[in-house]
Amino acid sequence: MNRIGILTAGGDTPALNATIYGAVIRANQLRVEVFGFIKGFNGLLNPEAPHVHLNPLLIPIPELDPARGGTILGASRDYVGSDDREIVLQAVSRLKRLQIDGLICVGGDGTLNGMMNLADHIPVVLAPKTIDNDLGLNYPDEVNEWVRSDENDPKSCRKEPGRPFRLEEMINYVTPGYASAVYVTSRSVQRIRTTAESHRRIAIIEVMGRDSGMIALGTAYGQPDLIMVPEVPIDPEILAEKVIRLIEIQKHALMVVSEGVRDASGRFLGDVTAGTDPAGNLIYRGAAETVKNMLVDQLSDHYFIGKRRHESAEAAIFVRKVGHDQRGGRPIRFDRLQAALLGAKAVELLLERRYSEIATLSYRDGGLEVESVESHKLRDRYGVIHYRPMAPSFYDAERMQPSAQGVEYLRTIFTNSVSHGDIEAILPMFSTGNLVQPYHSVNVDVHKRIRRLKP
């Protein structure tokens, strides 16, 4: 191959530029040109196919900084659908007009599905990313645990209980972006803790995690008192008992809750809006507020006014949502390194003609190694790729904390995950120049490099 393309699709993460950087550096070594497509699959759907030459003369453009969060190529949640063959052929035609020999897609399960719609026409591979850390399998035969009560109704699909497994069995141990997101949520817990502690209140912090509790699990590094995840239903009475026990001892409590948590009936505690995002995912809001209301009902004003000297249960409990802070900002060392290695691996997969594969990280001998897996191995018997749930063995439901295996899983990722460079990057925050100079967006410089096809 002489020229390959790369795009970043779906939601942004802190590690996307690092993935692109790793791909470009490896392509330079192999003397391959790299064109980056603007705004993910949206760029392929555009008749002009806006793109940037990322390594003219086999040198990375200066805007490509692996320590910069987000993606200089832009991202969107547009996808190439399987139901419109004409649009697929048009996208492929644009790639061929640019003499693109293969395409790297950086994304999660939605990106993988969109990528595979191009696979019959052009070589494609995936470099994984998602802050939710839900792309892959806990063990190879986990795909067989998805069953339907009605073979013809995808909505009737459910996952049967899994089996014990070793960390070495995991397919795609961790995805770039996850570590930086956990760094943000853990710091948020530490900062909000002092407010709850000072005012003798109960804090409930909501983190991302629609179907997987991996971000909440990792937030254990911030030392929350209780962690609630989508995989384990919440029992209001048991939760209230645990909170009272904490308050009696330390006069306050702090909890972390995933946005997708459910009750014993399987009902989502967060409000589900009428619509979905462009990738087809339900949008959940208000899980932490619902948990607060649970506690208000269980504990009542009498407890807080009579014993804790608060105005009311409502006043004693407050909610904070970390939100999009989890997606943005500088990636920490772990994400910069592993994302770059996976981007490089994606280039190698194309040149080795291992098409439709996914670059992955695997647990080997106590550390992580870069490998790959054929994408079809992530599909269930119905051809569907599902999110990877947090393994029940990672979570101690009684303590509402990581289990021993969960601790071992997290330790592998986060030991030495932050570098001195990450600490030093904080220092320029209070530079006087920030007060007198406007922010300069990298988009301004990248826009000057964009080239377009003539429709």
- Can you list the pairs that 143-149 forms with residues at least 24 positions away whose Cβ atoms lie under 8 Å? 143/377, 143/378, 143/379, 143/380, 143/381, 143/386, 144/380, 144/381, 146/380, 146/381, 146/382, 146/384, 146/386, 148/382
Strands in 269-390 per DSSP E: 271-276, 282-285, 317-321, 357-364, 367-374
Torsion sign across C-alpha atoms 157, 158, 164, 170: positive
Phi, psi of 62 (to 5 degrees): -65, -20
Yes or no: say if 7 and 75 are a contact pair by the CB < 8 Å rule: no
Question: How buried is residue 347: exposed, middle or buried, by Cβ count under 10 Å (0-12/13-18/19+)?
Answer: buried
Torsion sign across C-alpha atoms 246, 249, 253, 256: negative
Residues of the chain by 3-state class (helix, strand, coil), percent to 5: 40, 20, 40
Angle between helices 404-414 and 178-199 in degrees, nearest 10: 110
Yes or no: say if 187 and 222 are a contact pair by the CB < 8 Å rule: yes
Distance CA 82, CA 176 (A): 27
Q: Is 109 a catalytic residue?
A: no
* Of 12, 78, 109, 132, catalytic: 132
Catalytic positions are 132
